[in-house]
């Protein structure tokens, strides 16, 4: 009985072979809903299904009512065409604004995934801050308006949109002036307005970025830097610095402050600024600038370099730390010890942060070590002169810290520059004596490490009774006997050398000796004598 009932049910539910029945079933099957890209205003208000046909949809035609598509509601999710629009916008920037592609490339290639944290990090504060800037920008609003099918911008502006209207009119009137300004205006980067000022400026201004040109005498400034600073404070990579200069666009470059690309430019401009202050004291500099009519003051170059160092929220690289040390040298020379001290402290923390949180390869580790050594030297120099506590000594002192002395910086012959000392007639030119830059740097660090250690001991409490001769012996041991000019450094008699690095090391060694020796009057006289010899041999002519 159950079997018979089951057969009847199956027969009743069997699919019909009648074509009419088949068509009826097909007609009764639910049709898959087709989503339209945009519904008309009337269907949206009545919550009716709209086919999206323009200028009039079928429901509005059927009901004999008006059909409009005036409102531009924001779509859910990513707007159609949003990605391609951003790609085209980036390509436009690459084409119109020199340096943007290189800046973004440097960010993407940043060591140890900092760029990944910045661009793709969901929990990154820097990433969130940049994303908020984008969401609030006029460009984002305009892209959203265009993709939503909104009206043309000129038709929807209200009286409160004067600033945006002015910008739009300037964009239409001068669409190709982005690159033209750099070719017609003199290089006065410090007098130009920021990007925010440009958007709200007068009719003659454009959306041109701040294109910064190298100073016309940049090669001379680099020669001065390598001859009189790099020879005893070799913290920069000469090869990278020269490469940066050769690749610098002739029309100028818009250096992005918030990008890691600013790191390389920061140290380049810091080196130019330091050399410019030195060159300003030579008579050749004034004559040359008067003849060319183009001049950027040392303060101008300093400000350009300082602007390339980000705020505390920026993405730092080791080049930023090196730039800060060079700027600290400038402030030491100008007597601004507090400014220099702060810059050294910031450079130290950048180097420590990079060393501790990034897996550095050997070259990068060497660069970080050189920066830490420079921080120790300058912090000790400033702190002792101020009579205060050494702020970095306990953190920086590392036994055995040094840099390799086997590279081109060590053995490249030293050469003087016109306007300084004896110029091309210097004995060092004919003898082609190496600069011994790296050896000098290691020796300077050893001297200041010893001086800093003694200063810390004095601050912590009274020293153990030590004979002054014993202290002097320990200080002398910081100078390696194999150093080519070791006797010139340590002797208390008169002597001479043909390279400035030897004089710098001698002057600072004698200065440290005078600080540690209670009867250091004669040493002070030797320091003054050595300074006079240095000035007569390497300082400005006349």
Provide φ and ψ at 93, rounded to 5°.
-65, -45
- At residue 158, the pLDDT reads 43
CB atoms within 10 A of CB 541: 13
- At residue 217, the pLDDT reads 93
On whether the CB atoms of residues 69 and 41 are closer than 8 A, the answer is yes
Please, how many CA atoms are within 13 Å of residue 13, restricted to the half-sphere of its CB?
Answer: 6
- At residue 520, the pLDDT reads 66
The single-letter DSSP state of residue 148 is T
- At residue 330, the pLDDT reads 96
Among 428, 413, 416, residue whose Cα is nearest residue 223: 416
Give the domain ranges of the chain: 82-212, 218-538
- At residue 519, the pLDDT reads 66
- At residue 132, the pLDDT reads 80
The single-letter DSSP state of residue 424 is G
Q: How far is CA 19 from CA 10, 12, 14, 139, 378, in A?
A: 20, 17, 14, 60, 97
Q: How far is CA 100 from CA 104, 113, 116, 272, 452, in A?
A: 6, 20, 18, 23, 44
Structure tokens at 2: 């159950």
Provide DSSP, 167-210.
HHHHHHH-TT-TTTHHHHS---GGGSPPHHHHHTS-TT--S---
Return per-residue pLDDT of the chain as tens, 542 residues.
Answer: 455 444 444 444 444 445 445 454 544 555 555 667 778 888 888 888 888 888 889 999 999 899 998 866 555 566 777 888 888 888 888 887 877 777 777 777 654 456 666 676 666 677 777 888 888 888 888 887 777 665 555 444 444 444 444 444 444 444 433 333 333 333 333 333 333 333 333 333 334 456 788 999 999 999 999 999 999 999 999 999 999 999 888 888 876 544 546 788 999 999 999 999 999 875 555 445 444 445 689 999 999 999 889 888 778 899 999 999 999 999 999 999 999 999 999 999 999 888 877 666 777 888 899 999 999 999 999 988 887 667 665 555 556 688 988 888 899 999 888 888 765 555 655 568 899 999 999 999 999 988 888 877 766 655 555 677 788 888 888 898 888 888 899 887 777 888 999 999 999 999 999 888 866 678 888 899 999 989 888 886 65
- At residue 159, the pLDDT reads 40
Q: SS3 helix, strand, coil % of the chain, rounded to 5?
A: 60, 0, 40
- CA–CA distance, 361 with 278 (Å, rounded to integer): 35
On whether the CB atoms of residues 319 and 261 are closer than 8 A, the answer is no
Beta bridge partners of 540: 420
Provide DSSP, 249-297.
-TT-EE--TTSTTHHHHHHHHHHHHHHHHHHTTSHHHHHHHHHH-----
CB atoms within 10 A of CB 334: 14
- CA–CA distance, 147 with 528 (Å, rounded to integer): 73
Place of tokens 């020669």: 223
Question: Between β-strands 253-254 and 211-212, what pairing exists: parallel, antiparallel or unpaired?
Answer: antiparallel
- CA–CA distance, 238 with 244 (Å, rounded to integer): 10
Provide DSSP, 471-507.
HHHHHHTTS-TTSTTHHHHH-SS----SSHHHHHHHH
On whether the CB atoms of residues 309 and 324 are closer than 8 A, the answer is yes
Q: What residue ranges in 22-61 does DSSP mark as E strands? A: none
- CA–CA distance, 96 with 353 (Å, rounded to integer): 36
DSSP 3-state of 442: helix
- At residue 180, the pLDDT reads 34
- CA–CA distance, 4 with 11 (Å, rounded to integer): 11
Beta bridge partners of 200: none
Q: Any residues with CB less than 8 A from the CB of 520 and at least 6 apart, and which?
A: 513, 514
Among 540, 471, 6, residue whose Cα is nearest residue 278: 540
Q: How far is CA 268 from CA 271, 382, 528, in A?
A: 5, 24, 33
Geometric angle at alpha carbon 445, from 311 and 265, rounded to 5°: 35
Q: How many helices (H) and strands (E) does the chain have?
A: 29, 2
């Amino acid at each position: 009985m159950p079997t018979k009932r089951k057969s009847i049910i199956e027969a009743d539910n069997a699919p019909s072979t009648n074509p009419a029945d088949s068509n009826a079933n097909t007609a009764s099957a639910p049709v898959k809903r087709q989503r339209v890209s945009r519904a008309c205003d009337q269907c949206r208000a009545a919550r009716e299904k709209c086919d999206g046909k323009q200028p009039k949809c079928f429901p509005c035609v059927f009901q004999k009512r008006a059909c409009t598509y005036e409102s531009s509601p924001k779509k859910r999710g990513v707007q159609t065409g949003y990605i391609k629009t951003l790609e085209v916008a980036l390509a436009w920037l690459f084409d119109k604004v020199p340096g943007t592609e290189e800046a973004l490339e440097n960010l993407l290639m940043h060591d140890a995934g900092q760029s990944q944290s910045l661009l793709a990090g969901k929990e990154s504060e820097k990433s969130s801050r940049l994303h908020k800037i984008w969401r609030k920008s006029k460009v984002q609003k305009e892209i959203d308006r265009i993709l939503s099918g909104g009206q043309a911008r000129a038709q929807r502006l209200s009286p409160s949109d004067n600033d945006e209207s002015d910008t739009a009119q300037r964009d239409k009137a001068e669409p190709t002036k982005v690159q033209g300004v750099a070719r017609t205006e003199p290089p006065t980067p410090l007098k130009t307005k920021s990007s925010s000022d440009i958007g709200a400026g007068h009719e003659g201004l454009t959306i041109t970025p701040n294109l910064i040109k190298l100073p016309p005498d940049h090669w001379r400034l680099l020669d001065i830097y390598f001859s009189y600073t790099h020879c005893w404070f070799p913290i920069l990579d000469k090869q990278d610095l020269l490469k940066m200069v050769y690749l610098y666009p002739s029309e100028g470059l818009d250096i992005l402050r918030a990008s890691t690309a600013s790191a390389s430019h920061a140290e380049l401009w810091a080196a130019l600024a330091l050399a410019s202050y030195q060159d300003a004291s030579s008579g050749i500099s004034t004559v040359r600038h008067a003849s060319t009519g183009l001049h950027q003051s040392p303060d101008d170059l300093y400000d350009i370099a300082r602007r390339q160092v980000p705020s505390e929220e920026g993405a730092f690289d080791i080049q930023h730390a090196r730039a800060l040390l060079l700027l600290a040298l400038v402030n030491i020379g100008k007597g601004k010890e507090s400014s220099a001290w702060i810059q050294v402290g910031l450079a130290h923390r950048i180097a420590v942060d990079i060393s501790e949180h990034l897996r550095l390869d050997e070259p990068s580790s060497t660069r970080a070590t050189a920066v830490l050594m420079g921080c120790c030297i300058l912090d000790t120099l400033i702190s002792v002169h101020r009579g205060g506590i050494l702020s970095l000594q306990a953190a920086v002192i590392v036994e055995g810290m040094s840099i390799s002395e086997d590279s081109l910086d060590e053995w490249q012959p030293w050469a003087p520059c016109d306007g300084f000392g004896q110029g091309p007639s210097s004995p060092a030119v004919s003898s082609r004596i190496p600069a011994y830059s790296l050896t000098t740097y290691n020796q300077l660090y050893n001297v200041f490490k010893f001086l800093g250690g003694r200063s810390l001991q004095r601050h912590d409490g009274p020293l153990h009774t030590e004979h002054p001769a014993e202290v002097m012996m320990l200080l002398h041991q910081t100078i390696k006997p194999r150093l080519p000019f070791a006797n010139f450094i340590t002797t208390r008699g008169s002597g001479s050398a043909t390279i400035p690095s030897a004089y710098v090391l001698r002057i600072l060694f004698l200065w440290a000796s005078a600080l540690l020796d209670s009867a250091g009057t004669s040493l002070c006289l030797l320091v003054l004598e050595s300074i006079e010899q240095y000035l007569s041999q390497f300082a400005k002519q006349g």
